Amino acid sequence: MSKTNGEAVGVPQRRGLSLDGWAVLLAFALAALVRAGVFKHIPW
Amino acid sequence: MADAVALPQVKPVRPALQFLKLIPGVLLLAGVGYAGKLLEQNVGKFAKSHHWTFPNIEYVLWAILIGLAISNTVGIPQIFRAGVATYEFWLKAGIVLLGSRFLLGDVLKLGGASLALVVIEIAVAIGFMTLLGRVFRLKPKLTTLLAVGSAVCGVSAIIATKGAIDADDEDSSFAIAAILALGALALFTFPLIGHSLHLSDHAYGVWSGLAVDNTAEAAAAGALYSDTAGKLAVLTKTTRNALIGFVVLAYAIYWASRGQAQAVGNKAAFLWQKFPKFVLGFLLISLLATLTVFNKDQITALANLSRWAFLLTFAGVGLRTNFRELAKQGLRPFAVGAIGEIVIAVFTLGLVFGAQRIFHW
């Protein structure tokens, strides 16, 4: 169990998108393609 | 499958190579999911043509069962593992796309009712799991991880909390193993309980979203009951996920005050970092659907894309669950998790029955 003596730190800076960010981006890209009529019918 | 409980390791790999490494596993997810869909369509027909009595098994369960069979017999070869681990990515993309099936007013109405239940569930779950951890003399940080995992959102919450409270890798592995094992059990027990109690789709969906810890399992447990139950399970679980930052922040402050974790500098930045961004994506797509940005055919197309994304997720739930690996993690954390989950499931069932009377679900 590591002890850090209450040292204050900021939120670590990360480059690029998180997993959530990529998932949202993909979903919106697909929604835009459906809206633009590129994907007219998605079978299920 | 060792990575069922292992924590993610960050390795410096070139993005193009990293992307290529995902392809075999994603194809496996798609293959297992599609096989589940084909089995749903054809097994019933085959049984009927031969005059056999066979239960109608949904694609969700077929996909999970095929995944479990592969993972627990031949195992997942190394080449597929990175791609199989993307099942959470597909889950989140699927949830965002699912937003198109809700009008924003409905989200706020249903989400508001769910939020009240979620707050009660989180408070009771954290209190009870903390008490159980003390009774079973688990390490305090392991108890914290189990409490967060069962109260908020499973594996993601445990990983987020691990970093915030400087918990050991071993404790995180124990907590993740317990939550995953209990999630797998919930997949098979929740629909049976729901049917035996004649729960409505709405009530069952809210119950699954409240009581099943991992988002993938909550979505699967809901979808195993009905399409409507699946939608409501995801909505309720998403409401739970939205509160992750507050719970992790509270624990980070608590452990920092005891000198056993780093103090939190900027609390607003901490909350934003921990907030699941796919919740915002879900709300934004729902807003666009409410503003009739999409016509009826386009909404159907988006709903079907969401179903395909969930299909990959359900395949991943089966493929990443290896019972031998989970059993290796020891009995005590599992026992604490199991007792806690049973109590939380019964308690949330009572909450749902109460809400059913108030909201006429």
**Among B57-66, B184-193, B195-204, the least confident range:** B57-66
* pLDDT tens sequence across B197-255: 999 999 999 999 999 988 888 999 999 999 999 999 999 998 888 888 888 888 888 88
Helix (H) / strand (E) element for B126: namely: helix B104-135
| Interface check B280 vs A, CB under 8 A | yes
d(C-alpha B44, C-alpha B248), whole Å: 46
Q: What is the mean pLDDT of residues B311-334?
A: 82
Q: CB–CB of A20 and B277 under 8 A?
A: yes
Which residue of B96, B262, B300 is in closest CB contact with A4? Answer: B262
DSSP state of B2: G
Can you list the alpha helix ranges (DSSP code H) found in B149-274? 154-165, 169-196, 201-211, 215-225, 227-242, 244-257, 267-274
pLDDT reported for residue B9: 54
CA-based max dimension of chain B = 69
CB B209 within 8 A of CB B240: yes
Which residue of A2, A5, A31 is in closest CB contact with B302? Answer: A31
d(C-alpha B205, C-alpha B158), whole Å: 24
* pLDDT tens sequence across B270-293: 888 888 888 899 999 989 999 999
pLDDT reported for residue B350: 94
d(C-alpha B162, C-alpha B156), whole Å: 10
DSSP state of B55: -
Summary count for chain A: helices (H), strands (E): 1, 1
Ranges assigned E (strand) in chain B: 263-264
pLDDT reported for residue B211: 93
Distance from CA of A12 to the nearest CA of B (A): 9
Count of beta carbons in the 10 Å neighbourhood of residue B185: 15
d(C-alpha B18, C-alpha B160), whole Å: 23
| B196 Cβ neighbours under 8 A, 6+ residues apart | none
pLDDT reported for residue B13: 61
Kindly list the distances between the CA atom of residue A31 and the CA atoms of B71, B104, B131, B148, in Å, as whole numbers in the listed order: 34, 17, 46, 34
For residue B269, name the pLDDT band (cuts at 50, 70, 90).
confident
pLDDT reported for residue B12: 58
The pair of structure tokens assigned to B234 is 């995801």
The CA-based angle B249-B255-B258, given to 5 degrees, is 140
The pair of structure tokens assigned to B72 is 């627990």
| Interface check B277 vs A, CB under 8 A | yes
- Residues of chain B in contact with residue A21, where contact means CB-CB under 8 angstroms, are 277
In this structure, chain A runs to a length of 44
Domain coordinates in residue numbering, chain B: 89-359
Contact pairs from chain A to chain B, CB under 8 Å: 108
